[in-house]
């Protein structure tokens, strides 16, 4: 089972640390870990966050996964189920809205309330 977890990013979060955390949680192990991040909800203006996240994701090295310097590659479990890294970015007007978005997912395993200070 792949992860369906949400992260909520507040507008005053440390951008460098938050983007690093999102990349690691969203793309590590092609979401074959139950703690992987599937959805990021940005509170407030999300455009610069998403643009910076996309640029960082474009810099990841993708290959068959057998090369030691690969950042991403296919992962196949014992049951031959294929997992792939997918990260959904959403926008919320407030923290309450962001929490409501996360709570609407009935398959969520974990919520990360914020990558930055509240």
Catalytic choice (34, 35, 76, 82): 34
Exposure string (b/e) for 97-107, b if CB count within 10 Å is 16 or more?
A: ebbebbeeeee
How many CB atoms are closer than 10 A to CB 36?
Answer: 24
Catalytic residue flag (residue 34): yes
Angle, helix 15-27 to helix 47-58, in steps of 10 degrees? 60
Instruction: Please give the sequence-ordered ranges of beta strands (E in DSSP) within 5-102, or none if there are none.
Output: 5-9, 37-43, 75-76, 82-83, 88-92
Active site residues: 34
């Amino acid at each position: 089972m792949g992860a369906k977890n949400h992260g909520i990013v507040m507008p005053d979060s440390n951008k460098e640390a938050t983007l690093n955390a999102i990349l690691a949680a969203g793309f590590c192990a092609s979401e074959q870990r139950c703690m992987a991040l599937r959805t990021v909800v940005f509170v407030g203006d999300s455009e610069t966050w998403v643009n910076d996240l996309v640029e960082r994701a474009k810099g990841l090295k993708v290959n068959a996964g057998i090369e030691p310097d690969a950042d991403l590659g296919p992962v196949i479990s014992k049951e031959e189920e294929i997992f792939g890294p997918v990260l959904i970015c959403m926008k919320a007007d407030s923290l309450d809205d962001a929490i409501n978005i996360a709570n609407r997912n009935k398959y969520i395993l974990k919520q990360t309330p914020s990558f930055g200070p509240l």
